[in-house]
A and B are shown apart, each in its own frame.
Chain A
């Protein structure tokens, strides 16, 4: 379903993703794990046609993600890591916009919107502007919106960031259900290792833009002799914190990009 070969993305001197290759089969739940700034989001942005890679190929459902971008976009849904709602619109209007974007037939539109808003406990407040919502509610709406159309592939970029255990549970139950009943392929990133352990069938660990391990959760634990996935993760990526370097690189990137100087 997803086939990535020798994918590289450079921002100037900084190599965010360094020559990675992997495959995700149809109907598989695949977790992409890594410390902050390891290149997870950059990879997702390239797979979802938001960013052009420096080199390498990406195939989504047999289509070239670079050249057939619009066809590819029809095949996936995504829940972004950072907010992507329109705060001036109401929850319902945000859902409506998404439904129109993804050509959800009018009849199904209302039905599914209600079902999802109820599932994530937002139905009562559907007519309120999103900017009045709390962080958790916004997050829930993002997820509900991402599930509104039934894509072939669902990208979840740290979907549970800042959610309470109840909602996390709700989300993963729903995702697993979609995976089992509709055969949706799931590509997810998360910092909660227990989630990855629970949901994912296969895990790739990325660090400094390179894939350092790829196996089933069980296999990763065996490989490192660890009891939990968290230990295995730390054994593979070390325990130094590297957020700082990544965020200053981010700022540099931001600065370089200010005048549309895209590299």
Chain B
């Protein structure tokens, strides 16, 4: 237990100390919110879909949690590079605990980052429609964070160095974001795109956030929650398996 805790604490300490990075990582969400939010607004309105800023804000929150958790999970690669990974791997501690501590830490960091973006959203003009379901939105954020931290850890366990990082970004993380319906509604999509979006776990996360924050849903909260929980559990299992096999 204390091993999980100290590794969780480590992730938080590292996060709090990287102030420049915290500020920098607010830049991208801000661009999507302000430029896309107001830029696409009139078209969206004319298409009869309502306020685009309201629509896109939950998507941007989901995006932030996605990026932050995958990056933190892949912090494993940095630890490998700087050698700290060895210190954890020779410790007389079940590797599952090490993996859990890291992953939960990464997930917590991602949720905190997500909450910062929520604040930004509110400042820009976003308003949650149903205040009573806001705690549920927090739960969705946590689920998204756990799922993608586990994914990050799994990837970090298999990749041996930073060269693969760009590949993962372009062929996994960005597609997950763009296929999630964070930026566009899911109804009336071409068949192929519709299938792809329904295979993307983030789709359910964003849908859950939207449902709980602005009362607009595609799959429904229950489906969203279930899909996220199952995929997260699956990725945690895969991640800890891969992690336990690491050799340095």
Which A positions have Cβ atoms within 8 angstroms of B? 45, 48-52, 70-71, 73-74, 76, 78, 80, 82-89, 93, 96-98, 100-103, 129, 254, 257-260, 262
Q: Are A254 and B92 in contact (CB under 8 A)?
A: no
Q: Are B10 and A258 in contact (CB under 8 A)?
A: no
Report chain A residues within 8 Å CB of B161. Answer: 254, 258
A87 to B13 Cα, complex, angstroms = 12
Q: Contact check: which of A82, A254, A260 meets B158 at CB < 8 Å?
A: A260
Q: Are A98 and B87 in contact (CB under 8 A)?
A: yes
Interface string of B73-86 (1 = CB under 8 A from A): 00000010011111
Q: Are A86 and B3 in contact (CB under 8 A)?
A: no
Q: Are B159 and A85 in contact (CB under 8 A)?
A: no
Known: A83-B83, A258-B164. A50 touches B248 (CB 8 A): yes
Report chain A residues within 8 Å CB of B82. Answer: 83, 85-87
Say what secondary structure dominates the interface of chain B.
Answer: helix
Say what secondary structure dominates the interface of chain A.
Answer: loop
Q: Which size bracket describes the interface of B in this complex?
A: 20 to 34
A12 to B99 Cα, complex, angstroms = 29
Please give me the residue from chain B that is nearest to A257 by CB atom: B160
Q: Are B158 and A101 in contact (CB under 8 A)?
A: no
Q: Are A259 and B84 in contact (CB under 8 A)?
A: no
Q: Are B90 and A49 in contact (CB under 8 A)?
A: yes
A78 to B86 Cα, complex, angstroms = 10
Please give me the residue from chain A that is nearest to B93 by CB atom: A101
Report chain A residues within 8 Å CB of B86. Answer: 50, 80, 84
Known: A80-B83, A97-B6. A259 touches B92 (CB 8 A): no
Q: Are B160 and A78 in contact (CB under 8 A)?
A: no
Please give me the residue from chain A that is nearest to B13 by CB atom: A89
Report chain B residues within 8 Å CB of A70. Answer: 92-94
Q: Contact check: which of B3, B84, B92, B158 meets A74 at CB < 8 Å?
A: B92
Q: Are A100 and B84 in contact (CB under 8 A)?
A: no
Question: How far does the Cβ of A250 sit from chain B's closest Cβ, in whole Å?
Answer: 12
